[in-house]
Amino acid sequence: MTTKTLKQQYIMFDKRMTFIVGYRNLYTFCVAMIGVMCLYYGDTLASPYFYMLAMFLFVLAGKLFTDQVYVNIDATYVQDVLSGDGR
């Protein structure tokens, strides 16, 4: 096995972080944006239900984000083990 240069290690790290954080998280961003819209309309309409809905959506977005990050971390670990770069 050849050693990787610092540039190659940085590129691999960047690709992994992009995959782990950004890949398949569109639903999370959509739920968070709907929560932001509920906060905005809750402020203009002065309704507590919009605030409650916005907080619920923010909690849901956080749960979706962490679940997807765990799945993506597992997928990268499996790829590392199958390619021989694993621990």
Per-residue model confidence as pLDDT tens for the chain (87 residues): 578 889 988 998 898 888 888 877 888 888 899 999 888 887 777 778 888 888 999 999 999 999 999 998 998 888 888 887 755
State the greatest distance between any 2 C-alpha atoms of the chain, in Å, as a whole number: 63
Predicted local distance difference test score (pLDDT) of residue 87: 59
Q: Is the pTM of this model over 0.85?
A: no
Which DSSP helix (H) or strand (E) runs through 63?
helix 48-83
Q: Are 69 and 62 in contact (CB under 8 A)?
A: no
d(CA 72, CA 80): 12
